[in-house]
């Protein structure tokens, strides 16, 4: 029976879950005899929907819908972030959890994949309301999360403070401090040095390696970044430090272009203090669609899913796309980019730096022994470069895109684990 038969989802080709299913279909020819297990990848192991009621500051009662999906736990506990966004759906969280399964296997971390979310606009909540939503959600999903079962982390609109509240709530409920239940925590609560910049750093490191193979010099390269939050801003900063020019930036407040290249450090500080890039003193504000026409060598989509559509892929000038976001490229656009010779470093390897340092954090929490930032970055860079080498080899060997190669490497690891564990009963 095909996965489209899941009664509670209705994926379209461009929806995140539909995109993920199409990516799995493409890898089947490279799975050999493991292909008999492939349906496993098309079904989340466990999906929890929870009601999150809170008393608002004005005395009214508000209800928000929350989710936690554990896609696959064959290789270890579930791992994946929690997203607070008004448009979050179960289907989106399913796709994000599945990409976590693939990502963790692609960089060979001993984790399965999971993801969570709440349908809420956190920008409309007071700090007290945000804390209540976070704590109630954590209690509700407390049934299935834990340091040995499923470990949440930050994602869009969640951060170290939210992880601290989640850790505290879970700890209160189990009666002991359990730092290992979430990662991306503040440093003095068992967080890891380097975690905040890890995803953006991973985007830069895989981008640098891919650019080297393309013969594209970073010095003077023109970079466009969509999404200027945790991932996009750090990646932009590292590219600028390597001599590239960040010529276009887009976030939820608008699009800025600057042919000479932005002062990225100043743009970050403006964006942090003003809640977005709009109003920055240099560069020109243009319409949002203009972003996709800007002449650039490297494009970093680091906002949300489904941004790189077929139409945008046709006119893109970049030679290299670094997927900081999860699922930014729809399958049709993927084909167009491949035909046009544009190299895409897919999300499931490109943005794996965050979960890699999350893994370091979890290991450090268990041993209560913490590493220096230098050690973290050395280990991170080694893992990212090694994983990309491996995937590059697979891609060259079969003449397939880096995305299909990453899925091939990862799905083989996941399905071998599934087969070795066997089905119970
Ligand atoms: P964030 O909340 O820090 O930043 C999100 C950015 O996207 C903001 O600049 C926001 O303004 C922008 N944005 C939102 N809607 C937009 C729109 N419609 N058009 C343009 N820009 C828009 O989130 P983040 O942690 O940087 O995550 C960004 C992406 O990276 C997500 O897809 C996330 O799943 C993925 N990711 C994050 C991590 C991590 O460690 N934070 C790890 C792996 C993948």
Task: Judge whether 132 counts as a catalytic residue.
Answer: no
Ligand 1 pocket, 82 CB below 6 A? no
Cα 302 to averaged position of ligand 1 atoms, centre (Å): 5
Is beta strand 298-301 parallel, antiparallel or unpaired with respect to 61-72?
unpaired
> Does residue 329 line the site of ligand 1, with CB under 6 A?
no
> Ligand 1: does its nearest atom lie under 6 Å from the Cβ of 278?
no
Q: Tell me the domain boundaries of the chain.
A: 3-175, 198-350
Q: What whole-number distance in Å separates Cα of residue 322 and Cα of residue 214?
A: 13
- Is the shortest distance between the CB of 158 and ligand 1 below 6 Å? no
Q: Do domains 3-175 and 198-350 have the same CATH topology?
A: yes
d(CA 70, CA 73): 7
Q: Is 226 in the pocket of ligand 1 (CB under 6 A)?
A: yes
Question: Ligand 1 pocket check: which of 19, 155, 275 to mutate, most ligand atoms within 8 Å of Cβ?
Answer: 155
pTM of the entire predicted model: 0.96
Tens digit of pLDDT at every position of the chain (425 positions): 444 468 888 888 779 999 999 999 999 999 999 999 999 999 999 999 999 999 999 999 999 999 999 999 999 999 999 999 999 999 999 999 999 999 999 999 999 999 999 999 999 999 999 999 999 999 999 999 999 999 999 999 999 999 999 999 999 999 999 999 999 999 999 999 999 999 999 999 999 999 999 999 999 999 999 999 999 999 999 999 999 999 999 999 999 999 999 999 999 999 999 999 999 999 999 999 999 999 999 999 999 999 999 999 999 999 999 999 999 999 999 999 999 999 999 999 999 999 999 999 999 999 999 999 999 999 999 999 999 999 999 999 999 999 999 999 999 999 999 999 999 99
Q: In what order do the strands lie in the sheet with 254-257?
A: 284-286, 254-257, 245-251, 222-226, 298-301, 320-322, 343-345
Max intra-chain CA distance, the chain = 64
What are the φ and ψ backbone dihedral angles of 47, each rounded to 5 degrees? Answer: -130, 125
Alpha helix (H) residue ranges in 242-372: 264-274, 310-315, 331-339, 347-350, 353-367
Task: Report yes or no: 27 and 407 within 8 Å, Cβ to Cβ.
Answer: yes
- Token digits for 361? 């954090």
Superfamily of domain 198-350: NAD(P)-binding Rossmann-like Domain (3.40.50.720)
Please give the CATH number for the structural domain made up of 3-175. Answer: 3.40.50.10860
How far away, in angstroms, is 405 Cα from ligand 1 center?
A: 25
């Amino acid at each position: 029976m095909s996965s489209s038969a899941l009664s509670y989802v209705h994926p379209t080709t461009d929806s995140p879950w539909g995109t993920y299913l199409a990516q799995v279909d493409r890898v089947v020819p490279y799975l050999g005899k493991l292909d008999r297990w492939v349906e496993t990848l098309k079904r989340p192991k466990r999906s929890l929907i929870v009601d999150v009621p809170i008393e608002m500051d004005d005395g009214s009662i508000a209800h928000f819908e929350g989710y936690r999906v554990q896609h696959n736990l064959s290789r270890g506990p579930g791992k994946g972030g929690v997203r607070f966004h008004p448009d979050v759906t179960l289907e989106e969280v399913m796709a994000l959890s599945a990409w976590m399964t693939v990502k963790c296997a692609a960089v060979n971390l001993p984790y399965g994949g999971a993801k969570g979310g709440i349908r809420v606009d956190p920008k409309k909540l007071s700090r007290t309301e945000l804390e209540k939503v976070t704590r109630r959600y954590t209690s509700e999903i407390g049934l299935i999360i834990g340091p040995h079962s499923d470990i949440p982390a930050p994602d869009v609109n969640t951060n170290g403070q939210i992880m601290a509240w989640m850790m505290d709530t879970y700890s209160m409920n189990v009666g002991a401090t359990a730092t290992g239940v979430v990662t991306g925590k503040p440093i003095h609560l068992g967080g890891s040095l380097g975690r905040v910049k890890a995803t953006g750093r991973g985007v830069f490191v895989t981008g640098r390696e891919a650019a080297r193979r393309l013969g594209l010099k970073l010095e003077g390269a023109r970079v466009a970044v969509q999404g200027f939050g945790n991932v996009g801003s750090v990646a932009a900063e590292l590219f600028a430090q390597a001599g590239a020019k960040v010529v276009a930036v887009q976030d939820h407040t608008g699009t800025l272009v600057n042919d000479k290249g932005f002062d990225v450090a100043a743009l970050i500080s403006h964006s942090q203090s003003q809640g977005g890039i709009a109003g920055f003193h240099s560069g020109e504000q243009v319409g949002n669609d203009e972003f996709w026409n800007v002449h650039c060598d490297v494009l970093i989509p680091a906002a949300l899913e489904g941004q790189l559509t077929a139409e945008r892929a046709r006119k893109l000038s970049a030679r290299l796309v670094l997927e900081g976001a999860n699922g930014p490229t729809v399958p049709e656009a993927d084909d167009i980019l491949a035909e046009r010779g544009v190299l895409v470093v897919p999300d499931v390897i490109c943005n794996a730096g965050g979960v890699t340092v999350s893994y370091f954090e979890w290991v450090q929490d268990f041993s209560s022994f913490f590493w220096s930032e230098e050690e973290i970055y050395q280990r991170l860079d080694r893992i990212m470069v090694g994983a990309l080498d491996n995937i590059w080899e697979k891609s060259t060997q079969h003449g397939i895109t880096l995305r299909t190669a990453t899925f091939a490497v990862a799905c083989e690891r996941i399905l071998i684990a599934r087969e070795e564990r066997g089905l119970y009963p």
